[in-house]
Structure 1
Amino acid sequence: AYLLTRKGVKLTKEEATKFLGAAGIYELPEPEKDGTYTGKKVFSMLLPKDFNLEYKTKLCREVGECTKEKCPYDGYVIIRNGVLEHGSMEKKGYSGMILEKLFSDYGPEVAREFIDRSTKMAVYAVTHFGFSVGIQNYHIDKNTMEKIYSIRDNAVKEVEGLIVKYKNKTLQRSPGKTLKETLEEQIMAVLGQARDSTGAVLKDYFGQDNTSIVMANIGSRGSILNVIQMAAFLGQQAVRSKRIKRGYKGRVLPSFKGTDLGAYARGFVGSSFMKGLTPSEYFFHAAGGRESLVNTAIRTARSGYMQRRLINALQDLYVDYDRSVKDSEGNLVQLRYGGDMKDPMRAKKV
């Protein structure tokens, strides 16, 4: 949907017909003065004629005051009387704002039809415009790479400075935390800031037309963090939201000194996937990856078991004609369903 509705997309009558035909629509919108059809108007044919909506999208960079329809990034959506006048489609609006309003105002059948038709049109858009990601997406020139390495190396030096302060006991302790906890907290903050600064550099270098950046911005797949890890460096690897510390006595791996509290000795990966990881960096990355894998397995099992118990416990409850909640034996469970009689399926705030 983004490929079709982005700024500057114009289609011939034949192209517009193919887009609409793919979605099962057999009428054309009003053409522009030059006889072409904008992608926004073609997409608008999926919406009801009296549909109105305004919202800020993820494409907005939030630099200064919001200029709404004058947004240089096309990040503010305005739909008036079923016509998309400004803004581009992305995940937040497409599957959230628009679909939610269609369902609540027009019912499930209209929402279903929108999903069916917009999906067919979006699939045709990818075929028509083409969209691919390759290794060239992450290639960086020498000057930009030096800028990124400078950010990384300065962060590592700042960490070394914090460690010196910690050993000299001149580090300012955070309220309610020990000196060691303060050190770890500040190190994580410094290395996290380095990653964020690198992300800003990469966004400026790659621009808005790089397909990896496009996917991250519109929310279809991945994030800017994935781009940073591919092109710049992986950054600090964490286990239970802390730097890696378990391993040998006083150190994680035997290739480091026992007293080394530095960034590289405790899980900081200064290489990218493009460049390749050193053996110690590979180990740290595997440690962080293992935790997320275990968490996924445990979270799935726990949430599934919780759902099963809830279904069994609540299976005989129903809402009676007087709007009270009762069980199969007529025992009163709640005077009013949910306390406010709101339908969670339609309520915006539950």
Structure 2
Amino acid sequence: AATRFINNLQDVVTDYMKSSSYSVGISDLIANKETNDKIAETIFNKKKAVVELINETHIGAFENKTGKTNEVEFETQVSGLLEGAVSQAGKIGRSSLEKNNRFVIMVSAGSKGSNINISQMISCLGQQNVDGKRIPYGYQDRTLPHYNKFDDTPEARGFIESSFIQGLTPEELFFHAMSGRVGLIDTAVKTSQTGYIQRRLIKSLEDLKFNYDGTVRNGMGKIIQFSYGDDNIDPMKVES
């Protein structure tokens, strides 16, 4: 009866979706001018604070009250300021959306996406990292040929203040590609590794069977376990 109910419910939902389909559009991501101005102001203030921090290091007024090196503490403080910019800008962007916004409904229902995705689409993408750090100098003492040497400002070290709905500048696109590259490589490498691990597991377990005497034996009749799972409980019938 329960199985029949679930199947019938699925049919009802399918028929409902035929007449009331769900879709999202660009209009769901368009914020008003007031919201965009607030987001821009928030990012500007945080970037200004980072520039002031850089100036302090240049004149030797940078305060380091920790046991870490000045370089590490500087990067920690910069990251904190820029993360704050993304967090505040994201909240401003999300608060401008109505409850019946299609993206908000999708995230609230838990079907797809997260608040971070909404923030990146409306507010800003934020700091791009490689190996957990800001974009390092890859060319001769600079991140890209578009910047001056030793430029430590947020935009020159991988901070993207544009959102997906606004579109990225060429420099921002390069930084975004850098941070995404590690994930792509991991996916390609780990797919083969996990696939081979799974194959070895399956091949080593495929001849095991549960016998009438309660033991688990292989194809040769050798005992692998005296009691299946050490408790003889069927995992399919255990509530998780």
TM-score category by the smaller chain?
0.7 to 0.9
Q: How far apart are residue 268 of structure 1 and its match?
A: 0.8
- Residue 293 of structure 1: aligned partner: 184
CA distance in 2, matches of 1:255, 1:225: 29
Cα–Cα, structure 1 residues 343 and 194, in superposed 2: closer, same or farther, change >3 Å? farther
Q: Is the 8 A contact 1:162 1:171 kept in 2?
A: no
Aligned residue in 2 for 1:197: 88
User: Displacement of 1:144 after TM fit?
Assistant: 0.8
TM-aligned CA distance change 1:336 to 1:154, over 3 Å:
farther
- Cα deviation, 1:218-258, whole Å, max 9, x if unaligned, reads 12222222222222211112223332215213221122232
| TM-score (ref. length: structure 1) | 0.60
Cα distance change of structure 1 residues 252 and 346 upon mapping to structure 2, 3 Å threshold? farther
1:117 is the counterpart of 2:8: yes
Q: Which range moved further: 146-155 or 331-340?
A: 331-340
Paired with 1:212 and 1:150, the residues of 2 have a C-alpha distance of: 25
8 Å CA contact retained: 2:124, 2:160: yes
Is 1:225 the equivalent of 2:116?
A: yes
**Residue 303 (1) aligns with residue 194 (2):** yes
CA contact (8 A) 1:165 1:171 kept: no
TM-score (norm 2): 0.84
Per-residue CA shift, 1:240-287, capped at 9, x if unaligned?
Answer: 333221521322112223222222111111112222211111111111
Pick the aligned partner of 1:271 from 162, 166, 177: 162
Q: Quote the Cα distance in structure 1 between the aligned partners of 2:156 and 2:85.
A: 17
Q: Which blocks of at least 5 consecutive residues in structure 2 are unaligned? A: none
Q: What is the distance in 2 between the residues matched to 1:112 and 1:285?
A: 48
CA distance in structure 2 between the partners assigned to 1:183 and 1:301 by the alignment = 39
Give the CA RMSD over aligned residues.
2.6
Paired position in structure 1 for 2:225: 334
Q: Which amino acid aligns with 2:125?
A: L
Deviation at 1:178, TM superposition (A): 4.5
Query: Is the alpha carbon distance of 1:334 and 1:154 closer, same or farther for their aligned partners in structure 2, counting shifts above 3 Å?
Result: farther
Count of aligned positions = 238
**Structure 1 SS opposite 2:63:** coil
Which segment is superposed worse, 161-170 or 313-322?
161-170
**Hey, what's the Cα distance between the residues in 2 that align with 1:173 and 1:135?**
46
For 2:187 and 2:27, the matched residues in 1 are separated by 32
User: What pairs with 1:1-350 in structure 2 (closer than 5 Å)?
Assistant: 110-111=2-3, 114=6, 116-164=7-55, 168=60, 170-173=63-66, 178-349=69-240
Name structure 1 gaps, 5 residues minimum.
1-47, 49-109
Cα separation, partners in 2 of 1:258 and 1:321, compared to 1, 3 Å: farther
For each residue in 1:6-31, what CA deviation from the matched residue of structure 2 results, as whole angstroms up to 9, or x when unmatched?
xxxxxxxxxxxxxxxxxxxxxxxxxx
Give SS of 1:206's match: coil
Identity of aligned residues (%): 37
**Which structure shows the bigger proportion of residues in helix conformation?**
2
- Quote the Cα distance in structure 2 between the aligned partners of 1:323 and 1:263: 65
CA shift digits 1:31-59 (9 cap, x unpaired): xxxxxxxxxxxxxxxxx7xxxxxxxxxxx
